[in-house]
Amino acid sequence: MNKNLVIKLLKHILLALLSGVLVGLTIGLYQKGLQYVFSFATLMFNNKEWYLIVTNLIIFILLSFINYILILKFKSIDGSAIPLVEKVIERKEDKEKLKLIDIPLTIINSYISTYSLFTLGSEGPSISIGARIGKSVNKLFKEDDDLVNIGLNSGAGFGCAFLSPLAGIVYSYEEGLHKFSFRSLLYAFIISFSSFFICFLLNNLHLISVSNISFININQILVLFIIALFSLLISYYFKKIMIYIRMKFNKYENNIFIKFRSFIFFIIFFILGYFIFSLLGNGRNIILNLSSFNNIYLLIGILLLRSLFLSILGNGKVSGGIVIPLMAISALISKISILLFNNNINNNLFFISSENEEILILFGMILFFSLINNAPLTSITLFIETLLFSSFFKIENIITIFSSFSFYLMILLILIMNLINKYLLNSKNIYEEFIRVDYMKF
């Protein structure tokens, strides 16, 4: 082998390894910090002494101004910043907009959103952090034109957020680069797995998991089609509503209420935090406690409320991702579907037990994410990795997973619903829609 080729290969392996370690270290510390921030918010909102309420109000006022100033001065940290990453990879924006200084600023503003109980998650910032580290390492190695590394690092950010390295690799190609390349596959594995191991050592909290792997039997498969149908319809209209709101925000961006809407968010969530604390935040608490919700009307109310919040908050002026909040919405859809199914059967052979619910809710969460992002392969990989993690990699549990008929039906439904979504409904990736709207002239 040519000596120059060997040197070039070793250089890119070193680049990939350094990128992965930095991504894992940064996101691991960021995710760990989020737990402390949320714990502090929980402490403040659960104490009703007047002096703590006043203290919390002062904190909210300070945070609202910090958030406003940061986004005013550093527009690239607005929202999840994923549309900016996609614009850079597609050469629609200068890669220099992925600034290194934006990493700590993104983390700070994400902490502000978390403390303020906004219905936003950490996965969007994690993806953008990965992309920014990739760009910075490129510059260090004088590989400024290597947009592939930025895409691979954004995928590593996704993988770290969910502690799912294979899903991170698939995300790199399906969502980041929008194309596959064998040439970069080795680097993708190095970046994703090195970042995963570092991140896991710092923070081993999985955002999604199931405590009981119990698949439904063939008599109960109708519920899968109900969840799939509701997910398809609601995801379609949710995207329409979210894009419509973004268009209005962009069109009337100088309107005083739209320009300074972040202050309204802080006021609303400060008040709501003392009344419905458990229903706010990124939605992970809702996902974990769905077994205690058995009133369909209450679930529909929570679904509508969180959908409204996310469709507004997800369109900027605060920082945070939309994936986990979307999964919380889809978990509610799945729970409603299960209750509707159970309430309309008279035979115990068809009844969905609490043991089966977790798998069905996980299926709904993964399906909904895939429909919003047009990412079936990433979603299926995340689904499988989540089940494997939840099985603790025990042989008997793995056999249960891969010998279940409903497991394969779930994967098939994810593929079919995405084909219908893309080719019959002509529904596009939500970030592509964000980019289209951002370039519209009003």
Closest among 291, 126, 292 to 202, alpha carbons compared: 126
pLDDT above 70 (res 346): no
For 127-165, what is each residue's pLDDT tens digit? 999 999 999 998 888 776 678 899 999 999 999 999 999
pLDDT above 60 (res 1): no
For 166-193, what is each residue's pLDDT tens digit? 999 999 999 988 888 888 899 999 999 9
d(CA 285, CA 436): 33
pLDDT at 145: 63
Give the C-alpha distances (Å, rounded to integers) separating 440 from 89, 236, 313, 434.
20, 21, 20, 10
AA identity, residue 300:
I
Encoded tokens for 201: 């050592």
Report yes or no: 79 and 314 within 8 Å, Cβ to Cβ.
yes
d(CA 410, CA 420): 15
> Average pLDDT over the chain, rounded to whole?
92
Q: What is the mean pLDDT of residues 380-395?
A: 93
For 64-115, what is each residue's pLDDT tens digit? 999 999 999 998 999 888 988 888 888 888 888 889 999 999 999 999 999 9
AA identity, residue 118:
F
pLDDT at 345: 74
Q: What is the mean pLDDT of residues 292-297?
A: 90
For 20-74, what is each residue's pLDDT tens digit? 999 999 999 999 999 999 999 999 999 999 999 999 999 999 999 999 999 999 9
d(CA 410, CA 9): 40
The DSSP annotation for 194-258 comes to: HHHHHHHHH----SS--S------GGGTHHHHHHHHHHHHHHHHHHHHHHHHHHHHHHTTTSHHH
Q: What is the mean pLDDT of residues 281-309?
A: 93
Report yes or no: 320 and 120 within 8 Å, Cβ to Cβ.
yes
Report yes or no: 111 and 37 within 8 Å, Cβ to Cβ.
yes
